[in-house]
Structure 1
Amino acid sequence: MEQAYAVEDLIGGIYDAAADPDMWANAIGQIVEATGCRTGVFYEHDLATHQSQPLGFHRFNTEFMQEYVAHYGALDPWNARVMQWPVGVAAPTYALMPEEEFRRTEFYQDYLRRTGAFYGLGGLVERADGRIAVFGVQRGYEDGRFSAESVALVGALMPHLKRAYRMHSAIGQARRDRETFEETLRLVPQSVLIVDRDARLVFANDAAGRMLAAGDGIRLSAGRLGAAHRDDREAFAALLNPAGALVETGAVAALRRPLNRRPLLVQAVPLRINGRFDPAGRIVLLIDLDPPARPSPDRLAALFGLTAAEARLWADLATGATLAEIARRRQVSVNTLRVQLAKLFDKVGVHRQADLVRRAMELRGPEPER
């Protein structure tokens, strides 16, 4: 039975889920109840690999969704039919495929029938970068077809689902980039720190943590970073406020160290996000940092049986480049790189970009002479 929900509440739940992925199940559940349905799901489908990944679902158990990801998503006839439907337009599944034809599919007989679902209502939320995002709510055969009000409601929600999906994707990519960035920095042997303009410590890799613990040129006091030697504190404070020409390249200071060791060279560079200075004013401190050596693609290819393109992609990722940057440089699509990346994961035996970078760091070495 359809439940009365204010459209504003449903829209608010969608945008809440865009910011917090754990809330997708609740947002989908509200739409399920508002349309008198049994279940609901919002998922991504990769057109190259034919793999699906749920963003959120309601009244499907986790094991059932894992089966969809592992096998049945590739057999879902609605995925193929919805590709012919305009983006952002809600439609019942019987408008996409005759009921009797759907009933005979392996997808329905071996998979969906176990849930009691037969009819679906939803559509293509987004198509971009070789992926589609699909939203749908489902009813049983005995529940009958969807009311005109339910079709209109889901149709009204589709533009908001699209915007929320874009927000969700952007936030997720930023989170993954940050995790990969931090995990990569933890592996480098030189010390790297990130602070705000008030010198509060935001991040320190393992090497920097050891340096701070030893008071080796720098120290941490009440959560703020400073020079270990009192005569260097003014020079260190100036690092956090680079001005004029130094705003682009950062400033450098030589700090005193214990036991008359050579000075500690510290370079401060304002952090950039998408080409612009970080509005939070965060600064990266590079301490005696040498640029990471690019691993040899030839060596990676020989060790793991990679194609030349896969080996070059791995080598570029190991230097901190993003898929978007590599795609622009090579003049290929991001989706092409995603396909290569999936094959890399399989051949190397890892599941994340951070793990690829870690393996490359373990194997790094200079390019062979040509």
Structure 2
Amino acid sequence: MLKETMIEPAERDLTDLIYAALLGERSWQDFLDRLNALIPGGVSTLFFHDEKSGEGGISLAAGLDADTARDYAAHYVGLNPWMHNVARTPLGTGIIGERIVPRDEFVRTEYYADFLRRREIEAGVGVTLWREEACSFLLSTLTARIDPDANQQVADLLTRLTPHLTRAFRYYRTGRFDGALAQFGGSLLESPDVGVIVVGEGMVVRAASPRAEALLSSGAVVGLTAMGRLRLRDEAAAMLLKQMLARDYAGPRSLSTHLGAYRLTLVKAEAEGATGYFSGLAATLIIEEARPAGAPDMGWLARRYGLTRAETRTVEGIVAGLTPIQVAESRGIGLETVRAQLKAVYAKTDVNSQAGLVRIAFGFPPPR
């Protein structure tokens, strides 16, 4: 049995590690490693299980190699008898495996015989930390120790740690997503023609740029349901977004479609390991005014990127095929003035070449 003198300092250490990981001072791997040090022959994991699809996976582990984690997600998740009843276990309460499946039944399962016993694992302890839709997020420890009384001490420890871990879910799924918008750059977020929305599981809006908030309020392209979930007027785009928010999605990382005068771009967020575990699935919806068809619309380009009249005339010359010297001569200004205007335009449009200016003027993505 674990002695009380071992549990108390371990609990303090683990609690400190949770908040240190939230602050970026330590890693979630440090937390799992410290927990696993308490367990004889232990394997500790942060993992999820989707009851509806029957799928699951290990997001972070201590005492388990990557190949075994992949084997679990690919095959053994469907054989795990504990997961058949996990949705009916109390949220936030640590439970030993024997309370979910009696041991005499458990040792006759393929999961025990083919997956656990081969790794000298005899029992498990777990706690459901968070539930979202049909998906449960759990902290689990597997152990070589059969003694249910000793394992119950670990279950009680997990129960006491759960409130702190629940705060981690709330933190990652709310406040951190304000920073998710920053990856698109200030010029895009400040543009009057572009809206950026970070969407989480269940079509929940986690963050929105100022332009996106205005679009949500108007309801012309996107809006909110009575339950506060994102609603898209374009059914095809809505279906694509829901697919991207599915755990088994294996399609393109970005997709685009058009809705009237707007272009909608969907980008699948890539968050792996502990960050992805706590933050959940997410995708980004970029809504931008579509460029008019035909010849480049310099007025549209100027409005979108905040170009001055002089800068617009310089870009117009470049798009027409003139060199900077020819632009200077045609406008009766110095070459250095043209170069200074081009430099300012490059900064506003986030391109660094004349070819890039031509591409965005005709509605194509800038070269990368």
TM-score in terms of structure 2 length: 0.51
C-alpha separation in 1, matches of 2:87 and 2:230:
17
C-alpha separation in 1, matches of 2:208 and 2:76:
32
3-state DSSP class of the match of 2:14?
helix
Amino acid at match of 1:342: L
Structure 1 residue 163: Cα displacement: 2.0
Provide the residue aligned with 2:269 in structure 1.
353
C-alpha separation in 2, matches of 1:157 and 1:294:
38
3-state DSSP class of the match of 1:20?
helix
C-alpha separation in 1, matches of 2:6 and 2:196:
56
Q: Contact between 1:2 and 1:37, CA under 8 Å: does it hold in 2?
A: no
Worse-matched range after superposition: 176-185 or 76-85: 176-185
Q: Contact between 2:96 and 2:155, CA under 8 Å: does it hold in 1?
A: no
Worse-matched range after superposition: 20-29 or 90-99: 20-29
TM-score in terms of structure 1 length: 0.51
3-state DSSP class of the match of 1:36?
coil
Provide the residue aligned with 1:5 in structure 2.
6
Deviations 1:163-192 (A, max 9, x none): 23222223333576245312233683xxx6
Structure 1 residue 290: Cα displacement: 1.6
Residue 183 (str. 1) matches residue 183 (str. 2): yes
Structure 1 residue 116: Cα displacement: 1.8
Provide the residue aligned with 1:365 in structure 2.
290
Provide the residue aligned with 2:194 in structure 1.
292
Rate the CA distance shift 1:67–1:14 in 2: closer, same or farther, 3 A. farther
Rate the CA distance shift 1:145–1:177 in 2: closer, same or farther, 3 A. same
Structure 1 residue 59: Cα displacement: 0.5
Rate the CA distance shift 1:128–1:32 in 2: closer, same or farther, 3 A. same
Provide the residue aligned with 1:46 in structure 2.
50
Deviations 1:80-108 (A, max 9, x none): 22322222332221221133433343433
Q: Which runs of 5+ in 1 are unaligned?
A: 193-285, 296-309
3-state DSSP class of the match of 2:194?
coil
C-alpha separation in 2, matches of 1:105 and 1:187:
58
Q: How many corresponding residue pairs?
A: 246
Among all aligned residue pairs of Structure 1 and Structure 2, give the percentage whose two residues are the same amino acid: 13
What's the C-alpha RMSD, in Å, of the aligned pairs?
4.7
3-state DSSP class of the match of 1:5?
helix
Alignment of 1:18-33 (within 5 A): 18-20=19-21, 23-33=27-37
Amino acid at match of 2:21: D
Q: Which runs of 5+ in 2 are unaligned?
A: 232-237, 255-266, 271-281, 293-368
Rate the CA distance shift 1:339–1:163 in 2: closer, same or farther, 3 A. farther
Structure 1 residue 77: Cα displacement: 1.8
Rate the CA distance shift 1:331–1:116 in 2: closer, same or farther, 3 A. farther
3-state DSSP class of the match of 1:183?
helix
Structure 1 residue 149: Cα displacement: 4.3
C-alpha separation in 1, matches of 2:19 and 2:58:
14
Residue 330 (str. 1) matches residue 334 (str. 2): no
C-alpha separation in 2, matches of 1:335 and 1:36:
47
C-alpha separation in 1, matches of 2:66 and 2:91:
28
Provide the residue aligned with 2:122 in structure 1.
118
Deviations 1:197-242 (A, max 9, x none): xxxxxxxxxxxxxxxxxxxxxxxxxxxxxxxxxxxxxxxxxxxxxx
Rate the CA distance shift 1:85–1:317 in 2: closer, same or farther, 3 A. same
Provide the residue aligned with 1:159 in structure 2.
160
Q: Contact between 1:32 and 1:40, CA under 8 Å: does it hold in 2?
A: yes
Structure 1 residue 317: Cα displacement: 8.1
Alignment of 1:121-200 (within 5 A): 121-140=125-144, 143-146=145-148, 148-160=149-161, 162-174=162-174, 177-178=177-178, 180-185=180-185, 188=188
3-state DSSP class of the match of 2:170?
helix
Alignment of 1:239-254 (within 5 A): none
Structure 1 residue 60: Cα displacement: 0.7
C-alpha separation in 2, matches of 1:118 and 1:15:
30
C-alpha separation in 2, matches of 1:81 and 1:31:
25
Provide the residue aligned with 2:88 in structure 1.
84
Q: Contact between 2:46 and 2:60, CA under 8 Å: does it hold in 1?
A: yes
